[in-house]
Amino acid sequence: MTMQGNGQQDERITGDHKTEPHPTQERVAEPRANLPLQPDLSWSTGTRPGVGAHTGVEAHIGADANAGAVAKVGSAAKPGDHAKIGNAAKSGGNAKVGNAVTPGRNANVGNDADAAANVGSRPLPSSSVQAPHDRIQHAPLVAEGKRITGPVMLDVVGTTLSRDDARRIAHPLTGGVILFARNFTDRAQLTTLTEQIRLVRDDVLIAVDQEGGRVQRFKTDGFTVLPSMRDIGALWDKDVFLGTQAATAAGFVLASELRACGIDLSFTPVLDLDYGQSQAIGSRAFHRDPRVVAMLAKDLTHGLALAGMANCGKHFPGHGFVEADSHLAMPVDDRPLDELLADARPYSWMGIALTAVMPAHVIYPQVDLLPAGFSRKWVTEILRQRLGFAGAILSDDLSMLGARAVGDHVAAANAALDAGCDMVLVCNQPHEADKVLQGLVYEPSRLSQRRLKRLRPRGKPLSWKKMVRQEEYRAAREFLATHLGAPR
C-alpha cells in the first residue's frame, strides 16, 4: 500500500497499471501506411520546391518512398525504403516530426522542437503549468487531413499538469492519459485537471481504473463507493434478476460520474474467473462460473453504454488461476490450451458488446513462452482470428514486473504493438514514458485507428449538478444502496 498526497491509501497490487511509487497476420494484412500519411508541410523544411504529394509520388511517414520522391519528414528516402515514425530514415538521417532537419542528424519524432511552428496545441493556463513558453511545440500525426490517435497511453504526476506532463501529452505518439488516486483530491480539482489535459490535446483518451470494490481511484466528494464484482456475483447467486440489475446499475453510476468529471473510459469489466487464489484478482472477479461472468459483465457494459462509455475486458485469456501478482512477479500458468480457452469463453460470449480487451502479463508456456500481451500467438492468432475479436487491444502497464520478460519499456512497447496491440500503457515511470515516446517504431493503420476511435465516449455528458438530479442515476444509486449496501 502507498499513501497518496490526499491521504488516501492506494494499493500497489489492486488493479491494472497499478504500481504507484508516485506517479499477425492481421497487422501484416492491414494497410501499413497506405493512408496516405502526410505531415503538415507548413512547418516542414525538408521538402524541395515542386516535389510533393503528386500523383504516383508518395513519400509519407511510415510509407514506402517511391523512386525520386523526397521524404516529407525532412530527408530523402531511397526507392522502396520505409520512413517509419521513430525510426531512422534509410537515406542517412532520422527525421524529426515538427522540426527543421539537416540530413544526417539524429532526431526523434515529436521531441521538443524550438524551431517548429505551434501546431496542434493550445495555450495552457499559466496558473497550472509553469513553462518558459506558452505552447507545447509538437506537430500532430495526420492522415487524410485527420489527426491520428497515438499508440501510447501515459499518466501525469500530480493533481495539476507540470511542464513535463504537458510535453509528454503533446507528443504526437501519445493517444491517452490514465489517472490514479494520486491525481485526485476532489471533484472540482479532477474536472480542472481533465480540462487542463484537453487544453494540451483535445483528442486524447482520458481513462482510469474505476472497477468498484478495492480498485476504485475516486471514492470521496460525491463519488459512489461501488460494490466489488464478487459482491454482485454473490447477489446473482441469490437472485439472478437482482444480480443483473445490480451490474447494470453499477456500470451506469460508474460511467455517469466519471463522464461528469471529463473522463472517457474505465478499464472494466474484469473477465477473470474467481478461483479464490489470485493475489491480483480476488474480489475483482464476478464469479467462478464463466457463464455468470459473461452475463454480469455484459450487464455492466450495458450500464456503461447507457452513460455513453465504452468498455475494456481484462485480463485475456485469464489471470484468475495463477496465484502470483504480475505487478510484482512473472506469473506462469502451465495449463493446456483447451483449459485456458475455457477460462476465456466470456470474451467470445460477450460478442460485439465488448469494445476492447487487455491481455494479461502472464506466461502460458504450453502455448507460447512470451506473456500473452507480447505474444502474436495469443493476440493475433487466438484473440483476433480464432475468437474473432474485432475491437481495440490495449497492453497492460509496461511498468509491471510481468512486462520485463521481453526487455525494457521500449522493447516491451514495440513487442506489444508487433503482437497486435493497438495501444500500450506506460504508468508511474515518466522517464520511461519519455524513452518509449522517443524509441517507439509505429506504423499507423486504418483498422487500428478505427478500433481506437470506438473507445471514445458517445454523447455529451451531464454536468455533476444535472446528473445528481437525473431520475435514472438516482434510481441506480438507490438500487445499489438497497441491495448491496452502497452509500446513498
Residues carrying an active site annotation: 327, 396
DSSP 64: B
CA distance 229 to 391: 23
Task: Tell me, rounded to whole angstroms, the distance of Cα 315 from its chain centroid.
Answer: 14
CA distance 382 to 213: 31
Beta bridge partners of 320: none
Q: Are 59 and 66 in contact (CB under 8 A)?
A: yes
For 59, 248, 294, 302, 470, the CA distances from 306, given in Å and listed in that order, are 44, 9, 18, 6, 13
Percentages helix, strand, coil for the chain (3-state, rounded to 5) are: 35, 15, 55
> Any idea of the CA torsion for 369, 375, 378, 384, to the nearest 10 degrees?
-170
> Residue 454 phi/psi, 5° resolution?
-70, -10
Q: Are 136 and 170 in contact (CB under 8 A)?
A: yes
| DSSP helix/strand/coil, 464 | helix
| Residue 376: count of CB within 10 angstroms of its CB | 19
| DSSP code string of 209-245 | -EEETTEES--STT---PPPHHHHHHHHHH-HHHHHH
C-alpha cell at 112: 521538443
Return the closest-CA partner of residue 302 out of 245, 357, 257, 263.
245
For 129, 282, 358, the CA distances from 295, given in Å and listed in that order, are 45, 19, 19
Look up cell 485527420; give the residue.
146
- Strand 313-316 and strand 265-266: pairing? unpaired
Q: In what order do the strands lie in the sheet with 392-397?
A: 265-266, 205-208, 174-179, 152-155, 423-426, 392-397, 356-359, 313-316
Residues in Cβ contact with 304 at an 8 Å cutoff, skipping those fewer than 6 apart: 251, 252, 254, 255, 266, 268, 310, 311
Return the closest-CA partner of residue 343 out of 416, 278, 394.
278
C-alpha cell at 148: 491520428
Helix (H) or strand (E) holding 25: helix 25-29
